[in-house]
Amino acid sequence: MNSHGLGSTYWSEVIKILRNIIPVYDKVNSAISMGKDNQFRIEGILKSVFPGNKVLDAGSGYGNMSKLVLDNVSRDVTLHFYDPIPEMLNGIPGNFKGYDARFHMCSGIFEKIPFKSESFDAVICGYSIRDAIDLEKAFEEIHRVLKVDGRFLIVDLGKPDNILARILVTVYLKYILVVVAFLTAGKQGLPFRTLYGTYLRWPKNNDLNRLLSKKFSKVDFRKKLLGGAIIVISYK
């Protein structure tokens, strides 16, 4: 297994599980984040995406991050949806009915992004980069496709540096999350227990900050919910 990231074997297991929970994914994700998921997304988007930008929504899923861009920043953006699961991308046209926006779709992984260098003003990852096979390679690719002065937004779970806070977050993800997921979506919510496995492989907040600082000139790292949620904007 890679020192940072899921590694190819576990990544394949996670993708298989994600395919199976597509119908309830958004509902359960909102419940387990205590309804804060969109609040954190919007806070990050407002500081990293601007009118006229060309945006890569990496690990886009159904495009929730991009929809918030259109609703809170501007319709004058060009969106590229990028996800390893084609079934997720298939739901995007229906999810964006009524939006007069320019968008494109492409399937692939973080570690090999099929776009030219310096293509995007912003790369946004909402609860997705944690599922990278190799986190450092993913950061290298994202840095490559960003224009000079481009922004890389991460909104995701955080792993607190403080041991007591980390224990609280760990207990929540290991034990309470599966109960919340079951109450929200019944048996379809039970596979969300795999979230704990991805969390175990996720760097602590300070380590993540250091990894990003290796590639990016400036990192604005914001911690929420005792460090159990993070909003990070890295600048090329």
Partners of 78 in the beta sheet? Answer: 54, 102
pLDDT at 137 over 70: yes
Q: Is the pLDDT of residue 24 over 90?
A: no
Residue 199 gets the label, from left (phi > 0), alpha (psi -120 to 50) or beta, of alpha
Residue with tokens 């199976």: 20
At 191 the pLDDT is: 82
Check whether 2 has a pLDDT greater than 60: no
Rounded to an integer, what is the distance from CA 143 to the centroid of its chain? 16
pLDDT at residue 33 in the model = 76
**What integer pLDDT is reported at residue 163 of this predicted model?**
95
Run of H or E including 153: strand 146-157
Question: What token pair was written down for 55?
Answer: 């945006």
Q: How many CB atoms lie within 10 A of CB 136?
A: 16
Q: Residue 23 — pLDDT band, cuts 50, 70, 90?
A: confident
Residues 72-101 pLDDT 10s: 999 999 999 999 999 989 989 888 988 877
pTM here is 0.93
Q: What is the DSSP letter of 204?
A: P
